[in-house]
Structure 1
Amino acid sequence: MIIMIYACDEKNAIGKNGDLPWRQSTDLQHFKTITSGGTIVMGRKTWDSLPGKLPNRRHVVLTRSDRSDVETATFDEIIEMAKSQDLFVIGGGEIYELFLPYTQIIYRTIIHCTVNQPDTFAPEIDESVFALDEHNFVEKSQRDQYDMTFQKLSK
């Protein structure tokens, strides 16, 4: 199954200058809890933005080119993998858009802010296709910049 996970601002922005536009320790812990032990799928730009492999996860980068530093797969190979295991799509914007029609579950964190001049966005979610299953407002901690809302949506 394809599962999407991302954080966005109140206008659907997810990135600026190749990075997350906020520092949210609580959301990073939420991401870790959901994806730990699983397979995460990302585009090359997202892979390049990471500090290295994230612990306790299998990493797959969507690309047509082989890389020596990480496992790679084509779109068709990833869709085939999803028939037998859960795959967490973690970005970036173009990758979310590409996999949205195949996605069954979305974990979305809404960061309660508006990013100034963002350059990467999450796809628009059709509320007639995805139902809101969970909605949990979380006040910012000392390690967060903003309040946030954790959501789980499913087909």
Structure 2
Amino acid sequence: MGKKRLFLINGPNLNMLGKREPDTYGHETLEDVTKVVKDTAWEHGYEVEAFQSNHEGDLVDKVQLAEGEAAGIVINPAAYTHTSIALRDAVSAINPPVVEIHISNVHNRESFRHTSMLAPVCAGQVVGFGIDGYRLATLGVIQKIEREGRNDS
């Protein structure tokens, strides 16, 4: 049997990491984020399929594909965190565990960022640790998968 698979899903504007608001998001790029997740997952016997889109429907489609194709998801829904009922519904409709990640601490930023539509239907949420939060989220989703015996994808 090959390595088990995780999906890494990044939402709008995360393709601009390293260029956009470096005081908030740091100087690391999306490629750096992907490497952190892939390296962490590989150490635990998982491979990672990375995906980024600025379009809500594409993110919903990718979440739905996880059913049967991925053991779990690490997702940074970015601005859709606070607005997307469609993304929330997609996460709640699948069996693989999902961990939400944010580079910045969304709870000490503007008040409109304090509410996550996804958090209530996710296995967990990691915020405020920069791109190292992706490592923590990856470890968290792997732990959830292993604990619940969902490692068949």
TM-score (norm 1): 0.35
Structure with the higher fraction of residues in helix conformation = 2
Structure with the higher fraction of residues in strand conformation = 1
Higher relative contact order (CA 8 A, sep 6+): 1
TM-score (norm 2): 0.35
Larger Rg: 1
